[in-house]
Chains A and B, each alone.
Chain A
Amino acid sequence: MSWTWFHKLASPPYVYKLAARLTPWFAWPAALLILAGLYAGLVLAPPDYQQGEGFRIIYVHAPSAWLSIMVYVVMGVSAAIGLIWRIKVAHAVAASCAPVGASFTVAALVTGSLWGKPMWGTFWEWDPRLTSELILLFLYLGYLGLRAGFDDTQRADRASALLAVVGLVNVPIIHYSVTWWNSLHQAPSVMRVGKPAMPAAMLTPLLMVLLGFTLFFVALLLVRLRAEVLRRERTASWLREALRA
């Protein structure tokens, strides 16, 4: 099997150009899917028999939560690749992912909280999902804080990459602990999202927005990656050539 494509991906100039070419392919479909999905969900889909109109926030909350975890996995995997094979582009990918993932986590927490107010009468509930999201936010903040603490890019890359990998290993353990903790104290679990019995009219917009968010993340990652590569390679000769062209 030819691994040339993999090696090419390790080259900053190649990635810089590739990211520029690929971005529109992700950005436009993302915009379309999100708009269509939100329209379908917020306007077309029938109201929930139990929760009325308020449940519609699920169309933003669930994809945000899902993305927040997916981005952490992408971050952890690219950090591991950068750590093991010493590929700087992989570290740039991880660095670009982190703020995006943190933002998705905040969005999930805020929408979850807003959902809670009309539903349970309180802005916060210690149910396992929200608590796990909160802990995930702190994992992101820890990663960003560690990165910010080093001036030397290489040291920041490698230390935060190790942290990301350690965090990735811990995420399932933390999640199961929190679920167990919650079951012990029999707190009511109110947010039953993604139940299999969801009718197509509700599920389809959800999936559309989910896919749209994912494509949006990739587009955003590509844009941030270009900026990150620019920052890291600012003294390199290939960049001066490319900018002159």
Chain B
Amino acid sequence: MNLRDSRAVFAKELQAENLHVWRADRHVLKGVGFVLPLGECLKVSGPNGAGKTTLLRTLCGLIFPEEGRVLADGEDVRADLRAFHASLMYLGHEAPLKADLTARENLRYWIGVRRALPAQALDGALARVGAGAWCDRLVRTLSAGQRRRVALAGLALMFTPLWLLDEPTTNLDTEGQRVAGELMAEQLARGGAIVVAAHQELPDAVRGARVLELAA
């Protein structure tokens, strides 16, 4: 079993090296590669079906590439996947929220499994995304935009070196997009890295990000 010491698994950069991924006989990722130093943001864009989600999930280690590797600080992430996972946060298309629980409870379970979550931190994050008024309502009664905000609150609680976000600003109004942009800028400012898959424009705060274009 791995010794979970406090070494930072991820201190310099994330690298994708010649990733080839097939999904059901379709060659989705054809030799994708990039180097992402900490403190920067990479936007992955492309038309629908180009493989943005596939790339994010391959970077997470969920999908095993046919060829190529994902490297954190020059080491294959597969050597210690759990430590790599501990240093990343992945937010997929759908926010992982349970309809029968409140927003607050959802966050408590979702983030609590990963880190110690004192009550003030939870309240702070909910207030940050503007959920203070409705955070104790069942998620079933919330709109898509509100659910997305709760997901952002989860993001605000995880100070992991790497964020992998799949269309984080879907369904958000202008205020929501501003908050998302702020959160992302803060992540970059404290030395974290972000890989964002989006086919829309990113929020203003991170508009200057590098772009990786995937062809369909």
Contact = CB atoms under 8 A, between A and B. Distances in A.
A–B interface present (Cβ within 8 A) = yes
Interface of A: 86, 151-154, 235
A86 B25 contact: no
A86 B78 CA distance: 14
B64 interface: yes
A149 to B, nearest CB: 14
B24 interface: yes
Interface residues of B, number: 5
Given A152-B24, A153-B25, A154-B24, 6 more contacts: A86-B64, A151-B24, A152-B23, A153-B24, A154-B22, A235-B25
Contacts of A151: 24
A42 B68 CA distance: 59
A79 B22 CA distance: 21
Nearest to B26: A235
A86 B22 CA distance: 14
**Which of A86, A152, A153, A154 has the largest number of chain B CB atoms within 10 A?**
A154
Nearest to A152: B24
B204 to A, nearest CB: 40
A151 B25 CA distance: 11
Nearest to B23: A152
A46 B22 CA distance: 61
A151 B64 CA distance: 19
A113 B64 CA distance: 47
B116 to A, nearest CB: 34
Nearest to B27: A235
B83 to A, nearest CB: 21
A157 to B, nearest CB: 12
Contacts of A154: 22, 24
Nearest first, the 4 closest Cβ-Cβ pairs linking A and B are: A152-B24, A235-B25, A86-B64, A151-B24
5 contacts: A151-B24, A152-B23, A152-B24, A153-B24, A154-B22
A152 B25 CA distance: 8
Nearest to B25: A235
A99 to B, nearest CB: 23
B70 to A, nearest CB: 16
A153 B23 CA distance: 10
B28 to A, nearest CB: 12
A151 B22 CA distance: 14
Contacts of B64: 86
B29 to A, nearest CB: 15
Contacts of A235: 25
A151 B24 CA distance: 8
A154 B23 CA distance: 9
A151 B23 CA distance: 11
A153 B26 CA distance: 12
